[in-house]
Each structure stands twice: as structure tokens, then as C-alpha cells.
Amino acid sequence: MTLTATRTRWLQDNGVYVAVVALLLFNAVFTANFLTLGNFRTQLVQAAPVLIVALGMALVIGTEGVDLSVGAVMALAAAIIPLYLGAGPVPAVLMALVAGLVAGLFNGFLVAKVGIQPIVATLALLVGGRGLALVIANGQLVQLHDPAFLALGTGDVLGIPISVLIAVVLAVAVAALTNRTTFGRQLVAVGGNRRAAALAGLPVNRVLIGVYTICGVLAAVSGVLATSRLGAGDPADMGLLMELSAITAVVVGGTPLTGGKVRVLGTVTGVVLMQLVRATLIKHDLPDSIAQMIQAAIIVAAVYVARERR
């Protein structure tokens, strides 16, 4: 391997960590009130829902797929919560998760059994899902008052926000799933070489359906947490462009869009990086406009670096 190839490889694998450290250092020196507990807390709480979605997205991308419907699924969760909150927070959350499960099963079925490209299969739900959520909610934003449910988004355990805790637990769980289970290894194999995986007798369809289902459930979890934090069911805005943020974080974190690899720690770091970029720009009074353009540049740069070489 030539020196440049080695260097590119290293950058592909570790660029995201370097970027996070660099940004942290930059902020520590140049940003007032950055190294405070309160600030970290805010950043983490904001990043948690994105992370949960990104975890599912990383698994889907690992199979050489993509799930565009995650934002719509979040909206569905946001629409369903108020409907069942009267029966208590547990049934409400469960129903939201079931919605995510069904959405994911549906996507997985289209991809694995019908054989539709992932981008197209999940597009239908992206187009229709939010509309469905709005129909369910009558197009209304519903204020929520159940204290137990609201605690999910605002409460602490041992000084750590519950949503952050859930995100961390899920990240560990997804990492364990990818690295320590038959399912996880089969998932990566399907993404790496689908034909070889099928010839090796792997249950390709079951793996694909499973992956999309997990992604749907995780999107619903994220929708539940975000709804709780907002204190209102808001299907119109809930998870808008979330598919974009999640894909960005996954790709920036070094999981290639060509599949065959899932980097959970990279994805977590990717989410943190994009959150830090946003925070840095805001703290330095750079407007949202510039922030969006910089994000666009980061996406292109990350995908460019991560391009598979032939």
C-alpha cells in the first residue's frame, strides 16, 4: 500500500474523531462558557434523538440500504402519543413503538420480499407517513400534561438526563448487536456481498426485514423522547429532515454508503460532531444560513473521503 493510500485509509477511519477533538479544543480556547456542565448537558440532550435514529440508520446503511422514512415515523409517534396518553404513559409509548415496528416491517417487506430499491421503498412512507400522522392528529399540535410522560424528556437519573441515558443504552445495545450476535454479523455480511451471503446459506431476507424493523422502532423511540421533551405532540414538525441528519451522521462517522460495515462508535461521534459544529457556529453568532452551508460542505467532504477506491 502506498503512503497516500495509507493516509487516506487512516483519514477514512479516524477523521471523525480527530475532527471532534479539534472542535472541542477550539471551543475550549475560543468559546466563552463552553466548558460548563450546563452547556454539555444542553448539547447532549439535543443530540440524543438524532443519535437514536442514526443508530438504526447505521444498521440499514450497513446492509447497503437507506431508510428515508425515519422522520415520518417520528411524526407518527408524535401523533399517536396524545391518543393513548389518557390510558397512561406506558400504553401510549408502547403504541408509538408498535407504529414504528409496523412501519419498519413494511419497509423491510418491500425491500426484501418485493425487491424494491431501499431508497424508493422508504420514499413512499416518507411522502405518506407524515400526512398520515397529521390526519391522525387532525393537523393539530396537542399539548401534553402527563407528568410521568413529560419526565422522559426533562427528568434526570443520577444527574444525567433520561433521554441521554436511553440513547447511551441503545448505542451500547446496537454496538453489541452488531458485534456480538449472529444477526449483527449476518447483517454486515449481507451488506458486504449479498450474493456470497446468499450462497453461504444466510437468511438474507430475514436479516433485511429485521434491520428495517429495528430502524423503525428506533425512530419511534426517538419520536417519543422528542415529543416528551417538547411537551406536545407536533406531527407537522417532528423529525422534519431527520433522515438527512441521521444519514449525515452515519456517513460522517465512517460507515460507507456501499454497505458491509457498521461503525457504531463512529456514528455516535458523527452525531456529536454535527451537534458540535452547529453549537460552535451558533455560539460564534454565525447564522443558521452559514451553518447549513457548512453542513452541506461537511457531508460532501465526508462522502468524498469515504469513497471506495477501486
Partner 1 sequence: MPTDPVIEVAGVTKTFAGVRALDDVDFTLEKGEIHALVGENGAGKSTLIKVLTGIHTPDAGRVERHGRISTIYQEVNLVPLMSVAANLFLGREPRTRLGLIDRARRDADAAALLGGYGITADVRSPLGTLAVGEQQMVALARAVQAEADVVIMDEPTSSLEPREVETLLGVVAKLHEAGIAVIYVSHRMDELYRICDRVTVLRDGKRVHTGSLAELPRIELVSLMLGRSVTEIRKHGTTAFGEDHHADTEPVLEARDLTSTPRINGVTVSIRPGEVVGLAGLLGSGRTETAKAIIGALPLDRGTVLVAGKPVPRNVKAATRAGISMLAEDRKTEGIIPNLSVRENIVLAALPKLSRFGVTSRAKQDRIVDTFVKRLRIKVSSPEQKVSELSGGNQQKVLLARWLCTEPKILLLDEPTRGIDVGAKAEVQALIDELAREGLAVLLISSELDELLDGADRLVVLRDGAVAGELEGARLTREHVLAAIAAEVMDDADSH
Partner 2 sequence: MTTLTAATRTKVLQRQGSAVALVLVVAVSWLVFPRFGSLDNLRDLALQGSFLAVIALGMTFVIITGGIDLSVGSVYALGGVLAAWGSQYGFLVALALPLVVCAGIGLVNGLLIARTNMAPFIVTLASLLFARGLLLAITDEGATTYQIPPDSAFVELGRGTVFGFGYPIFVAAALCLLGGVVLNRTSSGQNVFATGGAEQSAILMGVPVARTKIGVYTASGTLAGLAGALTAAYLQSGVTVIGVGTELDAIAVVVIGGTLLTGGTGMVLGTVIGVGLIKVIQNVINQIGTLDSNYQSVVSGVFLLVVVVLQRVLRR
Tell me which residues touch partner 2 (CB under 8 A): 66, 110, 114-117, 119-121, 123-132, 134-135, 138-139, 240, 244, 247, 251, 257, 287-293, 295-297, 299-300, 303-304, 307
Please, which residue, 65 or 210, has the CB nearer to partner 2?
65
Minimum distance between the CB of residue 121 and partner 2, rounded to whole angstroms? Answer: 7
Contact window for partner 1 (CB under 8 A) among 71-79, 132-140, 191-199, 227-235? 191-199
**Which of partner 2, partner 1, none does 247 bind, CB closer than 5 to 8 A by kind?**
partner 2
Q: Residue 261 or residue 283: which is nearer to partner 1 going by CB?
A: 261
- Minimum CB distance to partner 1, residue 173 (Å): 12
Of residues 78 through 137, those in contact with partner 1 by CB under 8 A are: none
What number of residues does the chain have? 310
Minimum CB separation of residue 304 from partner 1 in Å reads: 19
Q: How far apart are CA 184 and CA 264, in angstroms?
A: 12
Determine if 193 is a binding residue for partner 1 (CB under 8 A).
Answer: yes
Least distance in Å: CB of 263 to partner 1? 11
Q: For residues 141 and 81, give the distance between their C-alpha atoms in angstroms, rounded to a whole number.
A: 12
Long-range contacts for 5-11 (Cβ within 8 Å, ≥24 apart)?
Answer: 5/309, 8/305, 8/309, 11/305
User: Do the strands 142-143 and 232-233 form a parallel or antiparallel pair, or are they unpaired?
Assistant: antiparallel
Rounded CA-CA distance 138/135 in Å is: 5
188 touches, from partner 1, partner 2, none (C-beta below 5 to 8 Å by class): partner 1
Q: What is the DSSP letter of 161?
A: E
Grid-cell match 471532534, residue found: 20
Contact call for residues 232 and 163 (beta carbons, < 8 A): no
Q: CA 84 to CA 262: how far, in whole Å?
A: 36
135 or 196: CB nearest partner 1: 196
